[in-house]
Structure 1
Amino acid sequence: MSSTEKQVQDSCCTDDHCSSKQTPQTAIDIDKRTSCCGDNDCKESNDSNNTDEQSQSTSSLETFEYQIKGMDCPSCAATIEKSLTKTKGIETVQVNYGTGKMAIGANHSSVSEQIPKQVRKLGFEAEAIPDKKNTQTYKVEGMDCGSCAMTIEKHLTKNPNVKEVSVNFSTGKMQIDHDTNQEEIIKEVERAGFGASLESKRKQQEDPSEKKQKDATTTISGILLALGFFGSFTNIAPTLITVLYAAAIVIGGYKPARSAFYAIKSGSLDMNVLMASAAIGASLIGEWFEGATVVWLFALGNTLQNRSIERTRESIRSLINLTPSEASVKIGDKMVRKPVEDVSINDTIIIKPGEKIPLDGEIMTGTSSINQAPITGESMPVDKQQGDTVYAGTVNENGSLEVTVTKLVEDTTIAKIIHLVEEAQEKKAPTQAFVDRFAKVYTPIVFGLALLVMVLPPLLGIGTWGEWVYKGLALLVVACPCALVISTPVAIVSAIGNAAKNGVLIKGGTFLEKAGAIKTIAFDKTGTLTEGKPKVSEVLVIHGNEQELVSITRTIEEHSTHPIAQAITTYAAERNIPAKNGDSFSAITGKGAQATINGVEYFAGNPKLYHEMNVSLTDLEDRIQSLQKEGHTLVVVGTRSEALGIIAVADTIRDITVQSIQNLKQVGMGEMVMLTGDNQGTAKKMATQTGVDRYFAELLPEEKVTAVKKLQEEGKSVAMVGDGINDAPALATADLGIAMGGAGTDTAMETADIVLMADNLEKLPHTISLSRRALAIIKQNVWFSLLTKLAALVLIFPGILTLWMAVLSDTGAALLVILNSMRLLKQK
C-alpha cells in the first residue's frame, strides 16, 4: 500500500476494526469525519519486531534463521512467537509475517534441532535458511541440458574443499560454498568440460579468444568431415579418408569425451557419455564416417543450443545494464564522477535531463518527468517533484534533479528485481519436476536396452554383431532426453524474463503455470480498482453559487492535513478558486472544522454537526441518504443558521481499471469478482462502472478470506489481486496472490506470488496472456520431444534410422524446442 493510501485509511477510517490511527499533530488534524474509505480494509498490523534495547542485550546469542510456511495472517506470527519464547534455551524470537522469515536468538546451538519440531506442532513448517556468507556465484558456460548441471554438481561434491554446490541450468549459474580459492573452482569446472567465471556485480564480457576457439573446433571438425566425405568419391586412398574421419572425431569430440570421463567418474549418465560412446562404438565397428558425423552434428547442435539459451538468459542479465556504472556526486560546490559501488547512502547525486538515474533516492530539488518503464512497465512518464522517490535504471526526461541516495547499489529496486527473477528461474515448475523425474528413469532404461540390443540378438544367432551394435549405438543417442529436459525450463526463463522487462515479477515456474490456469480473479476494491484516496465527486449548491461555496470551504479546510480536506483544497486549486481571508480556525473533533470569514462563523462538517446545531436539513435528507448509500462522504457547508451547500467526496475508480478488466475478458478470463466493505448499493454501482461480473459487499477484512474460499469451493481456481500486505491473508488463501505497487513496497515484492511493479492493473492482462501462452508452448515442447523420441525408437529396428540421423533428430529437436520457447521473449 502506498503512503498516500495508508494515510487515507489511518486518518479517515472510523471502522471499529482498525487497530490503529495516526496521531494528529495539530488541532485541525483531529478533525475526523465519517469514513471516506467506504471499504473496511483496515487490518491488524503485524508488529513483531523487538525493540533496540532487546537487540542490544542479546547481541551475544547465537542467531538462527528459518523460512516459515503455512502462515495465513499476522496472528499466526504472534502465535509462533509466544510459543517459542517459552522454549528453554530460546531468548528472542522475531517472526516477520510479511517475508515469512523467523530469527531465533538462542544461548546454545542444540536448540536449532528442536525448533522445526516445535513449529510443526503449531501447524506450520520451519525450514532452516543456510548461512550463505561464504557462498559465491559463478557463471557456467557450455551447459546444454539439465544433465550437464548434474555432472558438474557431482564432480564438485567429490572435492573435499567444497561444502555445498548447486548448479542451475536455466540461469547458467552455480552457487558454491567452499574453502578453496577461485582459481581452483574454475579449474574443477573446466575439468568437467565446462567454463566458469566468478560473477561480478556487473556483466562480464565474454573472452573473444575463447569464443573463437570454440567455433574453430567445430569448424575444423566439419572441414575434415567434408574432406573425407568428398574424398570418398575420388581415387584418394581409403586409409587417408579414414585418417581424416578419425581426426574429425578427435578434434570435434575432445571436449565431450573429456566431459564424459568426468561424468562417468561422478556416476552421472549425461548426453556427453552417450554421444562419446556412440562415436567410439562407430569407430570400433569401422563406421568412421558415422562416428565423425555424430561428433560434428553433436558439436554443431551444442553450439547453436548454447547461443540460443544464452539469448534467453540475457533477457535478465540485460536488466543489469539498465543502470549506469557511474554517478555524478555533489561534494561541496564540486561535482565528482564516482563508480556507483562507491556512492554511499545520503550522498547527493545530480541527474541531468536525458540521463539514467544510477541509484534509488529521494528528490531534494528539481521537478521532472521520469520514464519508469524499465521498473514498472508504465507506458507514460511520471511527474516527480521534491520528496518523491526515484528508482535506479529509470530515465530523467527533462529537468535537472538533485537526489539524496537512499539505497546502496546492491539494494536498489532493480537489483532486487534481478535477484528475485533469478531466484524464480531456479524454482522448478510442476511440469519441469515431472519431466526431470521422467528423464532420470528414461535414460538408464534406454541405455540398458541399448546394451541388450548390442549383445543379446547376436548371442541368439539373430543377425551379425556389426548390425546389432550399430542399432544399439543409435539407441544410445536416442537415450538422451535433451529436448524433453529443455522443453520446460527454457520456456519458463523466457516468460519470466519477458514479464520482468514489462514490470511484472513472477516468482517461479509454479506461479507461471498457475496464472495460466486461473479462471477467476478476485479484486480488492480500495486501492486496487479505485485510487484509494478521496476526490470531490459532486458539489450541491443550496444558496449562492458553486465558486463561492468552494471558496468558503477551501478557506476552512486548507489548514487541515485530513484527506477529505486535502481532496477539497485540491479540487479548488485545480479550478483556480482562491481561499478567502479567514481567522479563528479550529477543529470540531469527529465532526468537522470551522473558521471566521468577514466576521461570520462558517462550518464544514458532517450532517451530524448541523443536526446538533439545530440547522434544518429536511429538504436535503433524501439526497443525503442517496449519496451516502452510494459510498460518498458528505461535507455540509454553512453557518449556525443555514446550510449553503454540500460537497460529496468519494474514492474514484482508477483510469486504467475499466480498460484492464475489458482486456482480461478479451484474453478469456472467465469471471471477475470485486471484494468490498461497501454496502450493497455502493458495491452494485461500483461493479457496474468497473465491469466486474460479481461482487461480495459489506465484508470485514477477515471476511475477504471467506469470500475467496467460497469461490474455491465452487470449483474455481482463484487469483486474488490486492495492494500489498493489507490484503495478505486473502492473497495467501487464493491459489495465486497478485500484489500491486511493488516498486514502492519491499513487502509486496517479498510476499506475493506475482507482483505488478506499477500501482495499477495495466499489465495484468499481459501477465495472464503470457502465462497461458507459456503453458501452451510447454505442452507443445513436451509432446514434440516425446513424439520425436518415439518415432526414432520405432525407426531404429527396421534399420531406417541411421546413427547420424539419430544425432540430428536429438540435437535438432532440442534446438527447435529452444527456438519455440524463445517466442515468449518477443510477446508484446
Structure 2
Amino acid sequence: MEVIIANMKDKTHEYRVSSGNKMELYFAILCGVFLLVGFIIQKLTSLSNWFFLSSYIISYFFGSYFITIEAYKKIIKGGFDIDFLMIAAAAGAFYINKWAEGALLLFLFSLGHALEHFAMNKAKKSIEALGKLSPKTALIKKHDKLEEIPIKNLCINDVIVVKPNTKIAADGVIISGSSSINQAPITGESIPVDKVFIDNKYHLPKFKDIDKKHIVFTGTINGDNSIEVLVLKLSKDSTVSRLIKMVSEVETQKSPTQRLTKKFEKWYVPLVILVVSLLCFAYLLIDESFNRSLYRAITILVAASPCALAISTPSAVLSGIARAAQKGVLIKGGRALEDLGEITTIAFDKTGTLTEGKPKLTHIIPLNNFDENEFIELVLEVESLSNHPLAKAIAKDIKTHYNIEPQNKASNANAIQGKGIRAIYNGNNVYIGNVKLMEDSGINVEPSIISKMVNLLENGHTVMIVAYKDKIIGLISVMDLPRKTAAATLKRLKEIGIKHMVMLTGDHQNVGDAIAKQIGLTEAKGNLLPEDKVAAIKILIKRDKKIAMVGDGVNDAPAMALSTVSVAMGAAGSDVALETADVALMSDKIENLPFVIGLSRASKRIIKQNIWISLGVVTLLVPVTILGLTNIGLAVTFHEGSTIIVVLNALRLLRFKMD
C-alpha cells in the first residue's frame, strides 16, 4: 500500500511540474496576446482609454502571475531576487503611464522564464528517462509454472524467467541459461556482454563479490536466449533505482562557480535596488521631470537584472550531468563536474583498475631437459589440489590453454604458509614455491635458475620453482596483466592534457615499474600500505593542488576520500562505490575516463562562456541606459535574449562527443 501511495505521489508531482511548465508558457502567450490587443486599440482606434487600459491590465495579470509567486516565496524568506526586480520595474512603468512598455517587459520576461524552464526541463528529462528503464512486470517461476506479477511484488530469492529480447526486471544472478545482455542503459557499454549461469546457486557470496559474468541488472536487455534469474535485490534497492535517486540529488550539490554567483547575487540585487531607488530622484540634480528620472531608473532596473547569470551555471551543470548519465557515468553534482575539468594529475589504484585484477599464467619453463607435456601435467595435478588464488589461476589457465583436465594423479597436498605447496605425484615428492621452500626441503637452487627468476621478477612476474624427485624441473610465473585498453586510455589522457599519471600499489616496486612501463604511466609507487597511499596523495596534492584518484570505490577508501575527485570503476551493483565516489563509472571500462574528463572540461568552458555573455550584456546595457540611449523594450529584448542564449549554449552539452 505504501509503495502504491508513493508512486501516486511521484506521478502527481510529475504531473504538477509538467502542467506548471505548460501553464507558465500559456500565461506568457496570453500576456503577449492582450498586449497586442491593447496596443492595436490604443494606436489604431478611437475607443475609450478604458478599452486598451483593460487589455493592458489583463496582460499584466498573465505576465506577472508566476513571477509574483516566485518573488513572494523569496521575500517571505528575507531575500530579493530577479523576479522582484522585474515586478518592481513593471509596477513603476504602470505608475508613469507606460502601460505598453510595462506589459512588454512582463511578456518578454515571462516568456523567457517559460522558455528557460522548458529548456532546463529538457536536460532533466534526459535524467528522468532512467526511470523508464525498469519494466513494469516480471515473469516469476513458481512450482514449474510461470506467473506475471508487478515488479514491486518481487521478493528476494524469487526466480524470474527473462525471455529473449525483453528487459530484465531485477538485479540478480543467472542460475540457468546464458545470453548476451545489452547493458548500455546502465553502464553505457555499446557492445552486449556475454553472461553465463553460476554453478553453485545455493552458496552465493555477497552480491558485490559475485563475478559480474553471472550478474544482471534491472533495465538491461536480454539477448536471443531465455535465462532464469535469482532475484537478489528488491526494486527499490536495484542499481537503476539507486542511480535515479542519486542523479536526482546532484542538483543540491552546487559547483564552486554556482556558489560564487549565488554570493554575488545576494549582494548585487540589493545594490541594484538601492541604486535604482537613488536614480528615481535624479530630477533633483539634473533638469528633467520626475517621470523621466523614474523611467530611466526602471530601464536600468531591467538592464542590470542578472537573469542570465543566475541560470548560466546550473543549466550547464545539469546538462553535463545528464550527458554523463546517458553514457553510464554518474557525476555527483557541480563540484565534482567542475573539479574534474581542472585535473592534470591522476592517481590510479593498480589491481582491478589498470590491471585485470586476476592473476594469469605467463610462463611455463621446463628445465634440465624435463619433458614439457609431463611438466604441464604435473603442475596441473598439484595446483588443482590447492585453494590458493594463484594455484587456482594456474590450474584454470592450463586447462584453458592446453585443453586438458587433471587425472587425480597427485595427492597429500600440504600448503606451507608463505612458501608454497608440497604434494605426492606418482609416488614422489613435488614442491612448488619460492627459494625458501626449496632450501628448507634440501633442494639446491643453482645460480643460473636464480638469474632466470630475477629476470622475470624485474619484469613484474611472480615466479615459482617446481621440484620433483628432489631436483628442480622448471619455473612457472603468474602476473596480474594490464587491461587491454589501459595503454590506449593513458595515451588519450596524455593527449587531452593529463600531465602526471601515478600508480599506487601494495605490490612490489618491480611489479609497479613493470606495469608502468607497459602501459605508459609517468610514475609508479609500490610496497604501499593503505596509510602510505594516503601520504602519497597528500604529497601529490601539495605538488599539483588538485588530483583525481581512480579505484574500485571500496579498497583504498581513505586515499580516495582525500583526493579532490574520487572516481570509482565498475560501480554497477556496488552500493559502496555509488555512495562514496564523486564520479562513478558504471561499467568496468577505464576507457570511459577520457570522455568524463573531456565532458567536465567542456562544461567548465561553457560555464565561463555563459558568465561572460551574461555579465557582458549587463555591462553594455547599464551605461547605455544611464545615458538614456535605450528604452525598456530594447533593454528587455537584450536582457531576455541573453538568458535564452545562455540556456541554449548549456544544452549543447547534451550532444557532447570526444574528438
| TM-score, structure 2 normalization | 0.89
Match of 1:587 among 397, 414, 431: 414
Counterpart for residue 639 of structure 1: 468
Q: Distance in 2 between matches of 1:818 and 1:210?
A: 19
Q: Distance in 1 between matches of 2:623 and 2:307?
A: 18
1:522 aligns with 2:347: yes
1:222 maps to amino acid: G
Match of 1:310 among 100, 121, 124: 121
User: CA offset at residue 375 of structure 1?
Assistant: 2.1
Q: Distance in 2 between matches of 1:558 and 1:472?
A: 87
Q: Can you list the C-alpha shifts for 1:527-571, whole angstroms capped at 9, x where unaligned?
A: 221122210111112235544322222222223332222222222
Alignment of structure 1 residues 623-772 onto 2, 5 Å? 623-772=452-601
Could you tell me whether the CA contact under 8 Å between 1:520 and 1:716 is conserved in 2?
no
Q: Distance in 1 between matches of 2:440 and 2:71?
A: 90
1:549 aligns with 2:369: no
Which 5+ residue runs of structure 2 have no aligned equivalent?
199-213
Alignment of structure 1 residues 417-432 onto 2, 5 Å? 417-432=243-258
Q: Can you list the C-alpha shifts for 1:318-365, whole angstroms capped at 9, x where unaligned?
A: 111111122112222322222222212222211112112122112221
Q: Distance in 2 between matches of 1:377 and 1:261?
A: 43
2:627 maps to amino acid: P
Match of 2:625 among 796, 807, 812: 796
Tell me, what secondary structure is at the counterpart of 1:779? helix
User: CA offset at residue 680 of structure 1?
Assistant: 4.2
Q: Distance in 2 between matches of 1:559 and 1:382?
A: 32
1:766 maps to amino acid: F
Match of 1:438 among 264, 275, 280: 264
User: CA offset at residue 304 of structure 1?
Assistant: 0.9
Counterpart for residue 458 of structure 1: 283
1:218 aligns with 2:218: no
Give the CA RMSD over aligned residues. 2.8
User: CA offset at residue 717 of structure 1?
Assistant: 2.1
Q: Can you list the C-alpha shifts for 1:714-759, whole angstroms capped at 9, x where unaligned?
A: 2442222222332112212322222222224222222222222223
Could you tell me whether the CA contact under 8 Å between 2:183 and 2:192 is conserved in 1?
yes
Q: Distance in 2 between matches of 1:265 and 1:812?
A: 30
2:380 maps to amino acid: R
Shift in alpha-carbon separation, 1:295–1:550, aligned structure 2, 3 A: same
User: CA offset at residue 661 of structure 1?
Assistant: 0.6
Shift in alpha-carbon separation, 1:537–1:288, aligned structure 2, 3 A: same
User: CA offset at residue 272 of structure 1?
Assistant: 3.3
Q: Distance in 2 between matches of 1:208 and 1:489?
A: 20
Tell me, what secondary structure is at the counterpart of 2:556? helix
Tell me, what secondary structure is at the counterpart of 1:533? strand
Q: Distance in 2 between matches of 1:470 and 1:288?
A: 12
Match of 2:90 among 269, 273, 279: 279
Structure 1 stretch 612-621 or stretch 495-504: which is displaced more?
612-621
Tell me, what secondary structure is at the counterpart of 1:714? helix
Alignment of structure 1 residues 133-144 onto 2, 5 Å? none
Match of 1:374 among 162, 185, 189: 185
1:485 aligns with 2:310: yes
Counterpart for residue 573 of structure 1: 399
Match of 1:470 among 283, 288, 295: 295
Q: Distance in 2 between matches of 1:259 and 1:779?
A: 27
2:164 maps to amino acid: P
Q: Distance in 2 between matches of 1:606 and 1:208?
A: 69
Q: Distance in 1 between matches of 2:31 and 2:359?
A: 72
Could you tell me whether the CA contact under 8 Å between 2:347 and 2:504 is conserved in 1?
yes
Q: Distance in 1 between matches of 2:411 and 2:20?
A: 80
Tell me, what secondary structure is at the counterpart of 2:529? coil
Counterpart for residue 289 of structure 1: 100
Alignment of structure 1 residues 195-234 onto 2, 5 Å? 198-200=9-11, 204=14, 213-230=23-40, 234=44
Alignment of structure 1 residues 596-635 onto 2, 5 Å? 602-618=430-446, 619-635=448-464
Q: Distance in 2 between matches of 1:299 and 1:514?
A: 34
Q: Distance in 2 between matches of 1:212 and 1:520?
A: 46
Could you tell me whether the CA contact under 8 Å between 1:538 and 1:649 is conserved in 2?
yes
Q: Can you list the C-alpha shifts for 1:298-320, whole angstroms capped at 9, x where unaligned?
A: 22212211110101111221111
1:315 maps to amino acid: S
Q: Distance in 2 between matches of 1:211 and 1:510?
A: 28
Counterpart for residue 336 of structure 1: 147
1:334 maps to amino acid: K
Aligned residues: 634
Shift in alpha-carbon separation, 1:709–1:259, aligned structure 2, 3 A: closer
1:674 maps to amino acid: M
User: CA offset at residue 212 of structure 1?
Assistant: 5.9
Q: Distance in 2 between matches of 1:205 and 1:334?
A: 39
Q: Can you list the C-alpha shifts for 1:232-256, whole angstroms capped at 9, x where unaligned?
A: 6645547344444444333433443
Q: Can you list the C-alpha shifts for 1:572-620, whole angstroms capped at 9, x where unaligned?
A: 2222133335153422423444555555554444444444444444242
Match of 2:363 among 538, 562, 568: 538
Q: Distance in 2 between matches of 1:783 and 1:209?
A: 33
Could you tell me whether the CA contact under 8 Å between 1:503 and 1:763 is conserved in 2?
no
Alignment of structure 1 residues 36-51 onto 2, 5 Å? none
User: CA offset at residue 290 of structure 1?
Assistant: 0.9
1:411 maps to amino acid: D
User: CA offset at residue 205 of structure 1?
Assistant: 5.0
Which 5+ residue runs of structure 1 have no aligned equivalent?
1-132, 139-196
Counterpart for residue 136 of structure 2: 325
Q: Distance in 2 between matches of 1:530 and 1:766?
A: 20
1:503 aligns with 2:328: yes
1:406 aligns with 2:406: no
Q: Distance in 2 between matches of 1:207 and 1:787?
A: 32
2:277 maps to amino acid: L
1:440 maps to amino acid: K
1:359 maps to amino acid: A
1:300 maps to amino acid: L
Could you tell me whether the CA contact under 8 Å between 2:89 and 2:302 is conserved in 1?
yes
User: CA offset at residue 397 of structure 1?
Assistant: 1.9
1:448 aligns with 2:277: no
User: CA offset at residue 257 of structure 1?
Assistant: 4.2
1:496 maps to amino acid: I
* Structure in which a larger fraction of residues adopt helix: 2
Could you tell me whether the CA contact under 8 Å between 1:631 and 1:678 is conserved in 2?
no
Shift in alpha-carbon separation, 1:458–1:386, aligned structure 2, 3 A: same
Q: Distance in 2 between matches of 1:137 and 1:445?
A: 44
Q: Distance in 2 between matches of 1:580 and 1:549?
A: 14
Tell me, what secondary structure is at the counterpart of 2:223? strand
User: CA offset at residue 231 of structure 1?
Assistant: 5.5
Q: Can you list the C-alpha shifts for 1:354-409, whole angstroms capped at 9, x where unaligned?
A: 11212211222121222222222233322222232221122222321211211111
Identity %: 39
Q: Distance in 2 between matches of 1:321 and 1:380?
A: 21
1:346 aligns with 2:157: yes
Could you tell me whether the CA contact under 8 Å between 1:425 and 1:496 is conserved in 2?
no
Tell me, what secondary structure is at the counterpart of 2:228? strand
Shift in alpha-carbon separation, 1:245–1:341, aligned structure 2, 3 A: same
User: CA offset at residue 228 of structure 1?
Assistant: 4.2
Could you tell me whether the CA contact under 8 Å between 1:552 and 1:579 is conserved in 2?
no
Structure 1 stretch 422-431 or stretch 639-648: which is displaced more?
639-648
Shift in alpha-carbon separation, 1:363–1:771, aligned structure 2, 3 A: same
User: CA offset at residue 223 of structure 1?
Assistant: 2.8
Q: Can you list the C-alpha shifts for 1:144-185, whole angstroms capped at 9, x where unaligned?
A: xxxxxxxxxxxxxxxxxxxxxxxxxxxxxxxxxxxxxxxxxx
1:810 maps to amino acid: H
Counterpart for residue 183 of structure 1: none
| TM-score, structure 1 normalization | 0.72
Shift in alpha-carbon separation, 1:551–1:381, aligned structure 2, 3 A: farther
